[in-house]
């Protein structure tokens, strides 16, 4: 087909870095050789650890290039992997899911009617061969095609031996019975012949550039090797289940083929100008080899079926002998080749893979969300396996270190940490909190790409009697499990039915930034007006003993989002860089937003995020929020008249604030966006709106209409500025910021009422930590912490005890006060419980829903724990009325003990009087935390 293209050309910086002067020859485009072996398993080469197979040329390539140890095929068998490779698209976009019919096996064994399968890659898809041919490349497909009759209809100038068949019909020895390959001398070996054809193509196109797709039929069945190669392995000691001499001989011949190709590049003087990629289309054939330590084999979504060897050699660009554990997939080769060639992508084409050029050249990493597989088909098992199918309809996702497999017949899920458990031996679904995130992302991806999931029952299906070989009905221990029990234990929670008479509440969570415990009227503030927050307290419950997650912004937000205290949290401090942002949440983090998404909520985050910057795993849209608007980077949030904000993945420039002009205040934009979100909601649609305002955190910046209320009220000493903006009336500015925020809390409450949403909306107001000590903020003047000791950054009560107010008309008693001891980690389980979900496991939080609703079954914390990597690393624990603080963990400073019931200001250290309590607190402090690679104890972060 003809290639329609846009002017968007992928440029490779390394190929164009040096300017071309008059009379100079432009840099030559690299030749590209893709050496594609059929059914070669992850462990089927000596550079991948095999002690049975001898692969000196594969080993040579590995020594001269980069080895990817977590490389994946696009599918568990041949055709879908090749269709994805050629098109750059996942299977649901082109419909090639399997080989041949999706109804493989006996009808009585198939529970579902599988999705129909395409066996031909449609002409409407622009292949990588077409992209490269239009970029001036000579193109050749030599060997197995398996995507239709002739690869010359899909961008290849030359086709040798490629057609619709997936295996050599005449076997590996001539005569081949292949209409697209003339027979050679009797006994000629197919792998050798295809290599001869490849060398001939290289010679004819030595002036380049050329794209050689050498796609061997080997080592696919039938298992046939030359006599000499077979004899070489016949008496060799096996390496586990790698012991088949015929199969080893096939690998040996494939290795010789690679060696000949590399030698020809050297002979032609092309080695330094050629990008060589070596890989396989899927896992190895189980009956003849072993993928150990991986589980499974070809045809399965376990690692042994889809993890494959991958080596890339590119002299001068790739460091020889380098290795990468970055998860990559065959789909990545399409954009990689296009970028390497400086080629033009098809109009509107957005490959599902990512270019590997940054990884190969050391220029950067990959902004990868996840890898996906979709196999809505049946694949019968070899007789040796002793069961009907290798794979029933299923899907899988890998995010970070974790991989989830979903089997469509019964909804069963399996979760593995494939970094620490590459053999997938421990199914982690019994503690399902991590599974929520992966399953949510998998289902969202299926919706995004239109992936069909089989649901229609096969009328001829006959339910089997369970046997020990059937993992659907037997636990790994061999003990039988009833399916109902299995699903009750392992299935993910579902949203409450739409017909439920008691719909879960909407949730609006408003969080101030650096607002002190006593900076609102209902907590004792006398100088700053906060009538709307006070009204919220009068209409709901006010907590007196509620704590932030940490004494500074980022870790406190991490605790709020994940339900893990700072001894277990991913983010434990404010470390980060301007623009780049703070330490990001990893993909495996499970946030309250994701759990509410799982319960059917629409989610939005509007304000200051602080848990990951651009192109990181911490982006709000990757952490459970359907809608995101605000500051990613906390440093950027120090300016309330910023040059830009983020709207989902778009950087929005604020022209009104250009050149330092105070044009539009970010707080006002956040409020308007929050109100818009509320106005778009329907009464029967549950939602979670998280509004982490960026004020009253300094800089002291506020519009004049708010400043006027306090402008001449107090004696002022101008703040001269520094890191934060200067202000002539810092007290007035600070009070005005708080009151402006209060005004907008009122506007949010008013819109809820106008929309008829107030009665079924839980509104929460809190702060992320104690009041500020910098930037002109005068916490002493305003008595910002009330009777509490300390400010932001400290683990004294003033640094971590915060206001917390909740209103839910008709469910929370009006005007009540609670001394229930709770903290940010409790918000996640509380909201999940109110949303109708099961109690999450593996977190530190305890739901305080019983306290909100006036029930008598409130569980209590054994203790609350904090740590802060500042000033020598600080620790604190509260247990009942007792509070212990260590001001310097690195020096193991003495523990200070306080009785908060008698001494809320922490003025009297009574540790000497209660040695038994000190010992108990020491025990808690030692056991409450885990070490973190990101936050090693020797790090000292004073900022």
CA distance 304 to 290: 8
Alpha carbon distance, N-terminus to C-terminus of the chain: 59
Between CA 606 and CA 640 the distance in angstroms is 14
Largest CA distance in the chain: 104
Contact 393, 377 (CB under 8 A): yes
Q: Which long-range contacts (CB under 8 A, 24 or more apart) does 322-325 make?
A: 322/65, 322/66, 322/67, 323/66, 323/67, 323/68, 323/69, 324/66, 324/67, 324/68, 324/69, 324/70, 324/359, 325/69, 325/70
Q: Based on the number of CB atoms within 10 Å of its own CB, is 321 exposed (0-12), middle (13-18) or buried (19 or more)?
A: exposed
Q: What are the C-alpha distances in Å from 273 to residues 207, 313, 340, 342?
A: 11, 10, 11, 14
Q: How far apart are CA 650 and CA 693, in angstroms?
A: 20
Nearest to 569 by CA among 842, 199, 245: 842
189: β partners: 173
Is 693:510 a contact under the CB 8 Å cutoff? Answer: yes
Of the listed 57, 84, 94, 146, which one is catalytic? 146
Question: Alpha helix locations (H) across 636-795?
Answer: 666-679, 704-707, 730-754
Active-site annotation holds for 553 = no
Q: Which of 78, 84, 522, 605 is catalytic?
A: 78
Nearest to 263, CA basis, from 46, 193, 129, 255:
255
Beta-bridge partner residues of 103: 378
Helix (H, G, I), strand (E, B) or coil at 189: strand
* Calpha distance 938→812 (Å, rounded): 46
> What single DSSP character describes residue 217?
-
Show the beta-strand stretches assigned E in 641-697.
644-647, 650-653, 687-692
DSSP letter string over 366-380? -----EEEEE-SBEE
CA 440-446-450 angle, to 5 degrees, is: 150
Q: Which of 415, 422, 316, 410 is nearest to 361 (CA)?
A: 316
- Beta bridge partners, 160, equal 142
Q: Tell me the residue ranges of DSSP E strands in 86-177.
A: 138-143, 158-160
Alpha-carbon span 293 to 421, nearest angstrom: 9
Q: Is 78 an annotated catalytic residue?
A: yes
Contact status, residue 817 vs residue 544, Cβ threshold 8 Å: yes
- C-beta of residue 39 within 8 angstroms of C-beta of residue 219: yes
Evaluate the omega torsion of the peptide bond into residue 209 and state whether it is cis, within 30 degrees of 0.
Answer: yes
Evaluate whether 845 touches 828 at the Cβ level (below 8 Å): yes
Neighbouring CB atoms inside 10 A of 387's CB total 14
- Give, as one character, the DSSP assignment of residue 221: S
Between the CA of residue 618 and those of 332, 397, 601, what are the distances in Å?
A: 22, 18, 20
Taking the CA atoms of 265, 266, 267 and 268 in sequence, report the sign of the dihedral they define. Answer: positive
Distance from the Cα of residue 378 to its chain's centroid: 29
How many CA atoms lie within 13 Å of 192's alpha carbon, on the beta-carbon side? 14
> In degrees rounded to 5, what are phi and psi of residue 864?
-115, 140
CA distances from 709 to 174, 356, 499, 702, 777 (A): 94, 57, 50, 11, 17
Among all residues, which ones are annotated catalytic?
78, 146
């Amino acid at each position: 087909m003809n290639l329609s293209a846009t002017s968007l050309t992928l440029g490779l910086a390394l190929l164009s870095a040096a300017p071309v002067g008059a009379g100079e020859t432009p840099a030559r485009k690299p030749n590209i050789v893709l050496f594609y072996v059929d059914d070669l398993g992850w462990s089927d080469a000596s550079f991948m650890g095999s002690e049975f197979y001898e692969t000196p040329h594969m080993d040579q390539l590995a020594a001269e290039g980069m080895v990817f140890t977590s490389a994946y095929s696009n599918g568990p068998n041949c055709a879908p992997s090749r269709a994805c490779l050629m098109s750059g698209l996942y299977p649901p976009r082109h419909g090639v899911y399997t080989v041949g019919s999706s109804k493989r096996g006996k009808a009585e064994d198939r529970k579902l009617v599988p999705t129909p399968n395409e066996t031909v890659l449609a002409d409407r898809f622009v292949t990588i061969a077409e992209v490269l041919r239009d970029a001036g490349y000579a193109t050749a497909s030599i060997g197995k095609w398996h995507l239709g009759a002739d690869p010359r209809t899909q961008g290849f100038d030359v086709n040798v031996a490629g057609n619709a068949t997936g295996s050599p019909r005449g076997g590996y020895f001539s005569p081949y019975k292949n209409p697209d390959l003339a027979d050679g001398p009797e006994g000629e070996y197919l792998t050798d012949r295809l290599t001869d054809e490849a060398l001939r193509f290289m010679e004819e196109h030595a002036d380049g550039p050329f794209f050689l797709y050498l796609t061997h039929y080997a080592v696919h069945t039938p298992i046939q090797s030359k006599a000499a190669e077979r004899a070489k392995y016949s008496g060799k000691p096996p390496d586990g289940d790698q012991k088949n001499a015929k199969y080893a001989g096939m690998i040996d011949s494939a290795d010789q083929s690679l060696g000949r190709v590399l030698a020809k590049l050297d002979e032609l003087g092309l080695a330094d100008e050629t990008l060589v990629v070596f890989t396989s289309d899927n896992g190895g054939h189980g009956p003849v080899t072993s993928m150990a330590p991986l589980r499974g084999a070809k045809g399965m979504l376990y690692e042994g079926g889809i993890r494959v060897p991958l080596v890339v050699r590119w002299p001068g660009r790739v460091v020889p002998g380098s290795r990468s554990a970055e998860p990559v997939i065959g789909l990545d080769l399409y954009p990689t080749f296009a970028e390497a060639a400086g080629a033009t992508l098809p109009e509107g084409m957005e490959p599902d893979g990512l270019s590997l050029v940054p990884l190969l050249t050391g220029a950067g990493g990959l902004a990868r969300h996840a890898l996906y597989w979709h196999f809505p088909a049946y694949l019968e098992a070899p007789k040796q396996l002793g069961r009907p199918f290798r794979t029933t309809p299923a899907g899988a996702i890998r995010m970070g270190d974790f991989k989830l497999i979903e089997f469509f017949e019964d909804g069963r899920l399996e979760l593995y940490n494939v970094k620490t458990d590459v053999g997938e031996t421990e199914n982690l679904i019994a503690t399902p909190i991590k599974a929520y995130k992966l399953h949510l992302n998998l289902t969202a991806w299926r919706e995004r790409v239109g992936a069909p999931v089989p649901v229609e029952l096969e009328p001829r299906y006959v339910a089997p009697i369970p046997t020990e070989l059937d993992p659907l009905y037997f636990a790994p221990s061999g003990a039988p499990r009833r399916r109902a029990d299995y699903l009750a234990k392992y299935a993910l929670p579902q949203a409450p039915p739409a017909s439920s008479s008691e719909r879960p509440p909407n949730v609006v969570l408003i969080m101030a930034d650096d607002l002190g415990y006593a900076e609102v009227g209902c907590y004792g503030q006398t100088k700053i007006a906060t009538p709307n927050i006070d009204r919220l307290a009068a209409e709901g419950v006010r907590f007196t003993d509620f704590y932030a997650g940490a004494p500074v912004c980022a870790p406190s937000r991490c605790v709020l989002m994940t339900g893990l205290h700072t001894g277990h949290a991913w983010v434990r401090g404010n470390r980060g860089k301007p623009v780049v942002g703070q330490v990001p949440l990893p993909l495996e983090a499970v946030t309250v937003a994701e759990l509410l998404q799982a319960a059917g909520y629409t989610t939005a985050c509007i304000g200051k995020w602080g848990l990951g910057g651009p192109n990181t795993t911490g982006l709000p849209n990757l952490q459970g929020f359907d809608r995101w608007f605000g500051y990613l980077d906390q440093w950027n949030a120090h300016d309330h008249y910023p040059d830009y904000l983020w709207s989902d993945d778009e950087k929005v420039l604020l022209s009104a604030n250009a050149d330092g002009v105070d044009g539009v205040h970010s707080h006002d934009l956040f409020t308007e966006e929050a109100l818009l979100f509320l106005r778009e909601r329907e009464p029967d649609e549950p939602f979670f709106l998280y509004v982490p305002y960026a004020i009253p955190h300094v800089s002291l910046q506020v519009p004049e209409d708010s400043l006027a209320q306090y402008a001449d009220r107090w004696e002022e000493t101008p703040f001269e500025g520094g890191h934060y903006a200067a202000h002539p009336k810092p007290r007035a500015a600070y009070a005005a910021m708080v009151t402006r925020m209060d005004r907008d809390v009122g506007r949010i409450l008013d819109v809820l009422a106008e929309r008829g949403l107030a009665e079924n909306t839980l509104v929460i107001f809190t702060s992320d930590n104690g009041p500020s000590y910098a930037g002109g903020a005068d916490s002493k003047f305003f008595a910002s912490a009330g009777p509490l000791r300390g400010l932001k950054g400290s683990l004294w009560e003033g640094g971590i005890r915060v206001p917390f107010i909740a209103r839910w008309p008709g469910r929370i008693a009006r005007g009540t006060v609670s001394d229930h001891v709770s903290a940010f980690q409790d918000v996640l389980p509380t909201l999940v419980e109110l949303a109708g979900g099961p109690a999450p496991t593996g977190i530190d939080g305890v739901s305080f829903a019983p306290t909100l609703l006036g029930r008598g079954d409130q569980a209590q914390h054994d203790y609350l724990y904090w740590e802060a990597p500042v000033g020598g690393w600080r620790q604190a624990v509260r247990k009942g009325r007792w509070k212990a603080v260590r001001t310097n963990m690195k020096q193991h400073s003495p523990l200070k003990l306080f009785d908060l019931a008698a001494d809320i200001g922490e003025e009297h250290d009574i540790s000497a009087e209660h040695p038994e309590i000190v010992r108990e607190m020491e025990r808690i402090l030692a056991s409450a935390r885990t070490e973190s690679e990101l936050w090693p104890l020797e790090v000292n972060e004073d900022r």
